[in-house]
Amino acid sequence: MSILARATGAAALALLLLPAAGRAELTPSRLKQVYLDASFEGVGTNDQDADLFVERIALKGKPSCILVRYSGEIIGSDGDGDGRVSAVFSVRIDDAIREPQPSAHQATTSILPQIVAFSAFACDLPAGDHEVAVSMRASGPGDHVGAVFRNLEIWTERASPPAAGQARPFLKARRAFVASSEESVTARVDPAALFHEGVVLKPKSSCLLVRYSGEVLGSDGDGDGYVSMTFAVRIGSEVPPHPSLFDLTASEQPQIVTFSAFRCGLEPGPYDIQVQAESADDDDPVETRFRVLEVFTESGYPAPAVDSPVGAELAPMKPRRTFLASSSEEVVASGKKDLFRERVVLKGAPGCLVVAFSGEIAGTDGDLDVGDEVLASFEIVVGDAFPIAPVFQEVPTGLPRLVSLSGHACDLPAGAYDVNVGVRAEGPGDQVTVGARTLEIWTESGRVAPPTIGLVPAD
């Protein structure tokens, strides 16, 4: 081989090995066992960390991963009088803060809370006991933040069930069912169904874990300066404790809301699953459009279609492979910019691929329009498919806000797929900045693909 040919080949190999912008190393895992916890005990704090959850779990076998998913209500009090309050969340595993992870969120200072959600993970954890904690503090001196209804999911690869006498729910998530809708639903004081699905559990007592992610827009029809709403997840005949109150007063643009709910000790049989929304005032309509539902359980199958105008067909999947990535590199976007660009290879029969994203986002109001917020839009792409997912998020300027969303594509044949999560600022001259963020890719089977040579499109 000539010297020139060798040099050309070496240059091509170097290009192949360089990470493309938006690319982070995907860590494969087999997350299938999840510890669940919920609390409605109020926790308030100033600039000192206060624990929201503290759990102990026992890992088994080879070194493995833990994925922590949190969703909860948050409210702030502006003690220093600067007009803003920010909460900072931390996920600790064995007293070590896991970074990068989305952590900072500008909290509302009205009398009603917002709902926040985020994920963090750690891998190469050895077998044995581990303490997992989620805490919160206010970032500003004199400020105060509080949390009420909140849920925690701790996903593991191999773990021991809780010891006898412990009440902590434990789910072996061998089945998942996913659905999505872009049909507009407007809620007033009467509950409006966002999803109404059915699942049949078999053959033994189990849990149902429900995750919801959707885009919501409120209208202050009576002009009193207050718009708020309530979510309710009904599993069978009960509504378990979960984040539910959401303040929309400060927003004139859509916001993305993501949270989870669960019920355990369910006997075999059919269960209706409903996600409902209602406005606190009949004069203040609240519209929901792009939204996604995910249901996890140990065994079962979708029930016959529910006779409901919002009934969406549940697609079954077996979530056997999960690929995790995180990044703290800031991305500043006016036009479309990639936050993650990964590549996976699916194997076997056609199946589903679920993408979940969480991150910090802040805005820069370059067009100086009315108000100090910026509108961002998110996009999930799987191969050449654009799954239904929450899109628009109003972003404050100055302090970041946490945003979490998901989407899925199904009936995907075996082969290689580029998985992309992108963001753009919608206003001319505006910019959005995304900082710490995490990515989850859930599949039935597959592996990480080598990177492709190519440039990420610039603005």
The DSSP element (H or E) to which 441 belongs, if any, is strand 431-443
Is the backbone peptide bond immediately before 203 cis, with ω within 30 degrees of 0? yes
In the block, which residue shows the tokens 């759990």?
55
**99 lies in the same domain as 206:** no
d(CA 53, CA 152): 8
**302 lies in the same domain as 345:** no
**262 lies in the same domain as 309:** yes
Q: What are the residues whose beta carbons fall under 8 Å from the beta carbon of 398, sequence distance 6 or more? A: 84, 106, 362, 372
d(CA 385, CA 415): 14
First to last CA, the chain: 41
Q: Of 150, 172, 194, which residue sits at a domain end?
A: 172
Neighbours of 226 (CB within 10 A): 17
Handedness of CA 72, 387, 313, 308 (dihedral sign): positive
Task: Give me the DSSP letters along 251-312.
Answer: -SS-EEEEEEEEEEEEPSEEEEEEEEEEESSTTS-EEEEEEEEEEEESSEEEPSPPSSTT--
Residue 179: exposure state from Cβ atoms within 10 A (0-12, 13-18, ≥19): buried
Note the pLDDT of residue 191.
92
- Taking CA 294 as the corner, what is the angle to CA 290 and CA 299, rounded to the nearest 5 degrees? 160
For the domain that residue 260 is a member of, what is the CATH number?
2.60.120.760
**83 lies in the same domain as 28:** yes
Neighbours of 14 (CB within 10 A): 9
d(CA 166, CA 159): 15
Q: Which amino acid, residue 20?
A: A
**Is residue 56 assigned to a domain?**
yes
Q: Of 317, 343, 371, which residue sits at a domain end?
A: 317
Note the pLDDT of residue 23.
59
Note the pLDDT of residue 8.
36
CA 217 to chain centroid, in Å, comes to 19
**Is residue 455 assigned to a domain?**
no
The parent domain of residue 350 ranges over 320-448
In the block, which residue shows the tokens 């979530």?
319
**51 lies in the same domain as 99:** yes
**119 lies in the same domain as 229:** no
**168 lies in the same domain as 40:** yes
To the nearest 10°, the Cα dihedral for 199, 403, 393, 319? -30
Note the pLDDT of residue 307.
62
Per-residue pLDDT of the chain (459 residues; tens, 9 = 90+): 444 343 334 333 333 333 444 556 899 999 999 999 999 999 999 889 999 999 999 999 999 999 999 999 999 888 777 778 889 999 999 988 888 889 999 887 777 899 999 999 999 999 999 999 999 999 888 889 999 999 999 999 998 876 555 667 889 999 999 999 999 999 999 999 999 999 999 888 889 999 999 999 998 888 888 889 999 999 999 999 999 999 987 667 899 999 999 999 999 999 999 999 999 999 999 999 999 999 999 999 998 766 665 657 899 999 999 999 999 999 999 999 999 999 999 999 999 999 999 999 999 888 766 556 789 999 999 999 999 999 999 998 878 999 999 999 999 999 999 999 999 999 888 999 999 999 999 999 999 987 554 334 333
Residue 163: exposure state from Cβ atoms within 10 A (0-12, 13-18, ≥19): exposed
**218 lies in the same domain as 332:** no
Note the pLDDT of residue 16.
36
**In 202-268, which ranges are E strands?**
206-218, 228-235, 245-247, 255-266
**228 lies in the same domain as 353:** no
**Is residue 168 assigned to a domain?**
yes
Residue 357, classed as helix, strand or coil, is strand
**Is residue 15 assigned to a domain?**
no
**50 lies in the same domain as 92:** yes
For the domain that residue 335 is a member of, what is the CATH number?
2.60.120.1340
d(CA 139, CA 136): 9
Q: Are 40 and 181 in contact (CB under 8 A)?
A: no
Phi/psi of residue 3, each to 5°?
-60, -40
Task: Give me the DSSP letters along 48-81.
Answer: S-EEEEEEEEEE-SSSEEEEEEEEEEEEEE-SSS
Alpha-carbon distances of 413 from 86, 264, 410, rounded to whole Å = 44, 34, 9
Q: Are 287 and 216 in contact (CB under 8 A)?
A: yes
Listed residue (162, 121, 126) closest to 322, CA to CA:
121
Domain count, the chain: 3
Strand partners for 327: 437
Question: What does the block give as tokens for 234?
Answer: 């009904």
d(CA 136, CA 42): 12
**Is residue 1 assigned to a domain?**
no
**Is residue 347 assigned to a domain?**
yes
The DSSP element (H or E) to which 332 belongs, if any, is strand 331-333
Listed residue (440, 372, 362, 369) closest to 402, CA to CA:
362
Note the pLDDT of residue 305.
61
d(CA 340, CA 325): 9
**Is residue 398 assigned to a domain?**
yes
**438 lies in the same domain as 414:** yes
Can you say whether residue 368 is alpha, beta or left, with left for phi > 0 and alpha for psi between -120 and 50 degrees? left
Q: Of 112, 141, 172, which residue sits at a domain end?
A: 172
**Is residue 193 assigned to a domain?**
yes
**229 lies in the same domain as 307:** yes
